[in-house]
Amino acid sequence: MLKSLDIHLTNKCHFNCRHCLYNSGINNEDEGELSTSEWIKIFTDFSHLTGGKGSINLLGGEPLIHKDFFKIANASVDLGLKTNLISNFGFSDSVIRKISEIKFRRLSFGLHGCENNHDWLRNSKGDYKNTLKIIKLFLKLKNRPLINITTVLHKNNLDDVISVLELGKKLKIDSQSFFFFTPVGRGMDFPGLMAGPDEWQKTKGKVLGWLKKNKPAFSVKWEKAYIPASQAKQFYGGLCSGENTTSLEIRSNGNVYYCGILSGVDGPAVGNLKKESIADAYKSLSSKRMKGVSGCTALAILSQKNNKKIIDPRPHNSKWTPSCPYELESLCP
């Protein structure tokens, strides 16, 4: 059953983050972007499909750059949809105030380690301090939205994981999510940043140890990234193998994907909402899935485009093999 939509309002962004899956930039908009009225119709159809109980995740690029962002966001809220915002929040105080007036369910902020590591990944000096300032501002609001911190982990910031957890505890946020640095989009320029399986498992162990000791009030999601090699024969690409998905990814040109990374590598779309309804695109999903490879099919496609073998390029060893990046687990000590 379809429960949520990841909505890329635009691929334009005023940042130039080094880990951006979509190569978003100030001049990098998708050709043939959906109009505001088309977005609102999509939300209306989705609300009917889910009985008004669905979730909308607004992202980009940078969604706040869209000229009608506030009209679109308010339309989603007015339809009763749980509306969440994923943004870099690098805007003026007046824009931040307008955001606070919308009844968002959750705001997601990226904090990628200590100040130097965060600013390097965001490619924006001073962004760590600005992001922290805005998080604190929203935490002070009465009837505030839920606050989530996401952290992309790579070889150079793995040692920052405990400080990020400590910060979340100090701020009294609601949730934290940790993701593996994926070499897609601009991340392709830094393949050496991918953590190996032993490093990844060691870092996960540190997180579990911290959680057991500190028992924070917030929840923690962790990207698996790797599974035991003994399970490889039973694993054929996660979502690509036909696992049920409750979420769809909608690009700003209307293309529909069941995986954001497939979207990031210009993989085959399962439909386009300029030509068909969400319900029809979702119904046809099972017949349009790609035959998976062990690991991530999208990353394998990217390897093929670079004249390499059709194989997930992430590190592996005799104990661990790459898994679907969409496989997250809730960490409990």
What DSSP letter does each residue of 221-276 carry, written as one string?
Answer: EEE--EEEGGGGGG-S-GGGGT---SEEEE-TTSEEES-HHHHHTTPPPSEETTTS
267/302 Cα distance (integer angstroms)? 9
Average pLDDT over residues 310-322: 84
User: Pairing state of beta strands 271-272 and 82-86?
Assistant: unpaired
Residues 166-204: pLDDT tens digits? Answer: 999 999 999 999 999 998 999 999 989 999 999 999 999
Residue matched to tokens 């390897």: 303
Residues 60-104: pLDDT tens digits? Answer: 999 999 999 999 999 999 999 999 999 999 999 999 999 999 999
Nearest to residue 201, comparing CAs of 222, 230, 175? 222
Tokens of 199: 């490093």
Are the C-beta atoms of 95 and 135 separated by less than 8 Å?
no
